[in-house]
Chains A and B, each alone.
Chain A
């Protein structure tokens, strides 16, 4: 207890020096790019910016898959020469009634041979009253949801990068959510609009014969015009898919002077586009974006180069955004913004100032208290406190943690609590002195007895804050993280550093009485 080997002292001092070095990146510029340079990031509440929580519309992912499955079922049965009645989709399944009960076995056999997107994706079974149900499995649904979110994150990232946002953070949260953090963007309206669009572009032939009929015939859908005026009947069959685009850009059309979006297909898309336009010269071809018809021009000649242009009475911003969305690709499912928090830059600056001053004032008060009430050993505790602050900053930098306002409060409270361990040791030494122990014995007993208490009291605090970190969300996690780190650094600085200072002082002066 009362002896520190050279090695032990060197390691304690070494840790403090390394801590000091790790703090540097927060205060000076990186001298050379080859040096590892990790620093604390300021949270959105301190630097200003926006936080968006997006939820992927899973119901629509499942609905999409079921629609496809219903289509495949129809095709499969037709190909096998089997009949069906009441083909319908439910929440998780496609159902139909076989033409005759004899066809049940051939139906099952044909349907079980349908290709699956994943092993065990669906199950074909005969239900009550002779119906056959093709049910999507829960596991496959989960996998599909997971994939949809992964894919969405990628597209969200591309779209946000295209807006020129600096350091956006896009992370998955839970099963079906995406967190988007945009430092410096305090009005997220444009980003929200960009993310709120699925941007699924498809090309369909217009069913001119159905114009004016109230109920569209089978295989034809009535789609609204994007201008908001009227509807247009188009064939449901997708002739060309916008997923085959390689590039899109906005420009002013030379002839009309209107804003237009130019796009280029890849080889598959160009081939399809060429084929369709060649065989349908003179017919109208509808360009559909997110189930709205943007325009439906008449095909004058076959378009074989794979280049096209859309003009739909766009404004400059609309044309730019559509081009951006087409380049970034379509989302697999709609995204809903379910939480939004944005902080203007001036409020962040106010918070830093208020938080910083309070932190400094609290620190000074604690130091003064320790100096007044504990004298020399109080100053040692203060040195340990300073080292504690340095080490906390170092570990937070090492993790590249994000410092939030509650996190700052956490740091301050840790410093307040950190001296507790020193107070415990000092009070214990005082008690032992009062019992008539010698200086050496009193210090020894003080360290020994206080250590158990220090470990116990910090362990409970550690437990509480680890829980808070695990179950907390947002700002609370930052708070819990700083306190958790603070408890670890507190144990180091009090059990090793301040004790070392006291022991070294004793070894140097060999006092007969202690300054307690």
Chain B
């Protein structure tokens, strides 16, 4: 039968790559990237999306290429000032951004809502133009959404830590969570560089890549634990290398399928989903490599004394 046997093979059978030899290079690269990301996080910082920044965003489609001056004039006649008008997607799509009044002012919520209506009225005066989307988020709501988003992130990390701790020894849990935090900083750096807006959907994307990354680490750790029982005297470095090599073709296979699933979304998913999908793609690459180059060396550093008390000293190559 023509589909009986696999036509292609991902990783040659029985690889023996010495990953642990490069552990310091891996850790150092990761540290540099994460520190760079942290610097980027503080300066210039994330581009906050509407959910977390608050404000008004109106997306409109004009008949024919958008003329910004006409749009600004229409807005001005409705007494909307200080609006940012920019192109978006196609030549006939425009994005109008407004800041909400500060929440120290009375009636700021009502005024925010009135501003959206004014923008709508302004667009209605342009022939053939239509509003595609109009969002207005008040200052109090955006603060709350931000807090909830961060809470979800923090609690997920804690739950992952608790679960791995419960299922494995604590060395595994700590190195997994440290790796996840490093992954997280890199994802933030990626967001800063790409100027993707950080909003609730991005929090979901980040949580998904954290979930994926954990999943990947659990598979490698699972094999390490199995091999710890199987090879009672093998030095830990050698044992971790063996475990990574044994699971390598699964690690790469799964990364590939998830990558392939997300790729069309990044390329054709439309404005609202492509940012999400690009972060996913980045996260898949980072999460997969960090399982091998960060989580495993960390486990080696932390577990060398504890996990392998009776082992013979590691042989220097």
Q: Which residues of A contact B (CB under 8 A)?
A: 45, 53, 55, 186-187, 189, 192, 196, 336-344, 346-347, 350-351, 354-355, 357-359, 361-363, 365-366, 369-376, 378-379, 405-406, 408-409, 412-413, 415-417, 419-420, 423-424, 427, 430-431, 434, 449, 452-453, 456-461, 463-465, 467-468, 470-476, 479-480, 483, 515-516
Q: How many A-B residue pairs have CB under 8 A?
A: 251
Chain B 195-234 against A: per-residue CB contact (8 Å), 1 yes, 0 no?
0000011011001101110110011001100100000000
Q: Which residues of B contact A (CB under 8 A)?
A: 1, 3-10, 13-14, 59, 61, 109-110, 113, 116-117, 120, 130-138, 140-141, 145, 148-149, 151-152, 155-156, 159-160, 163-164, 167, 200-201, 203-204, 207-208, 210-212, 214-215, 218-219, 222-223, 226, 246-247, 249-250, 253-254, 256-265, 267-270, 272-273, 276-277, 280
Residue with the highest number of chain B CB atoms closer than 10 Å, among A55, A369, A434 = A369
CB atoms of B152 and A434 under 8 A apart: no
Query: How many angstroms from the CA of A405 to the CA of B199 in the assembled complex?
Result: 14
Contacts of A458 in B (CB 8 A): 215
- Nearest-Cβ distance from residue A485 to partner chain B, whole angstroms: 15
The answer to whether residues A369 and B262 also contact, given A457-B219, A463-B156 and a CB cut-off of 8 A, is no
- Nearest-Cβ distance from residue A51 to partner chain B, whole angstroms: 9
Contacts of A453 in B (CB 8 A): 218-219, 222-223
The answer to whether residues A423 and B131 also contact, given A413-B280, A453-B219 and a CB cut-off of 8 A, is no
Contacts of A187 in B (CB 8 A): 120, 131
Contacts of B133 in A (CB 8 A): 341-344, 347
Contacts of A449 in B (CB 8 A): 226
Which residue on A lies nearest to B226, using beta carbons?
A449
CB atoms of B141 and A472 under 8 A apart: no
The answer to whether residues A346 and B159 also contact, given A338-B141, A379-B3 and a CB cut-off of 8 A, is no
Query: How many angstroms from the CA of A408 to the CA of B262 in the assembled complex?
Result: 11
- Nearest-Cβ distance from residue B262 to partner chain A, whole angstroms: 7
Which residue on B lies nearest to A381, using beta carbons?
B257
Contacts of B135 in A (CB 8 A): 340-342
Contacts of B249 in A (CB 8 A): 427, 430
30 A-B contacts, Cβ less than 8 Å apart?
Answer: A187-B120, A189-B117, A192-B113, A196-B113, A337-B113, A338-B140, A339-B137, A339-B138, A340-B134, A340-B136, A343-B133, A350-B270, A355-B273, A362-B261, A365-B260, A369-B260, A372-B6, A408-B273, A409-B265, A416-B261, A420-B258, A453-B218, A456-B222, A460-B164, A460-B215, A464-B156, A464-B211, A464-B214, A467-B159, A476-B149
CB atoms of A344 and B130 under 8 A apart: yes
Q: A413-B280, A420-B254 are in contact. List 8 more A-B contacts (CB 8 A).
A: A55-B109, A372-B8, A412-B262, A413-B258, A423-B254, A453-B223, A457-B218, A460-B164
CB atoms of B270 and A355 under 8 A apart: yes
Query: How many angstroms from the CA of A351 to the CA of B155 in the assembled complex?
Result: 31
Query: How many angstroms from the CA of A357 to the CA of B61 in the assembled complex?
Result: 23
- Nearest-Cβ distance from residue A256 to partner chain B, whole angstroms: 31
In order of increasing CB-CB distance, the 8 nearest A-B pairs are: A416-B261, A354-B270, A361-B264, A416-B258, A471-B152, A365-B260, A375-B6, A362-B261
Query: How many angstroms from the CA of A473 to the CA of B212 in the assembled complex?
Result: 21
Contacts of A378 in B (CB 8 A): 6
CB atoms of A419 and B6 under 8 A apart: no
Contacts of B223 in A (CB 8 A): 453
Could you tell me the dominant secondary structure of chain A's interface residues?
A: helix
CB atoms of B160 and A366 under 8 A apart: no
Contacts of A374 in B (CB 8 A): 6
CB atoms of A472 and B200 under 8 A apart: yes
CB atoms of A472 and B270 under 8 A apart: no
Residue with the highest number of chain B CB atoms closer than 10 Å, among A339, A373, A468, A473 = A339
Contacts of B218 in A (CB 8 A): 453, 456-457, 460
Query: How many angstroms from the CA of A379 to the CA of B254 in the assembled complex?
Result: 16
Contacts of A346 in B (CB 8 A): 61, 130, 132
Contacts of B6 in A (CB 8 A): 372-375, 378, 515-516
CB atoms of A340 and B116 under 8 A apart: yes
CB atoms of A413 and B134 under 8 A apart: no
Query: How many angstroms from the CA of A354 to the CA of B270 in the assembled complex?
Result: 6
CB atoms of B4 and A375 under 8 A apart: yes
Query: How many angstroms from the CA of A452 to the CA of B219 in the assembled complex?
Result: 10
Contacts of B59 in A (CB 8 A): 347
Residue with the highest number of chain A CB atoms closer than 10 Å, among B4, B219, B277 = B219
Contacts of A351 in B (CB 8 A): 270, 272-273
Query: How many angstroms from the CA of A467 to the CA of B264 in the assembled complex?
Result: 28
Contacts of A359 in B (CB 8 A): 264-265
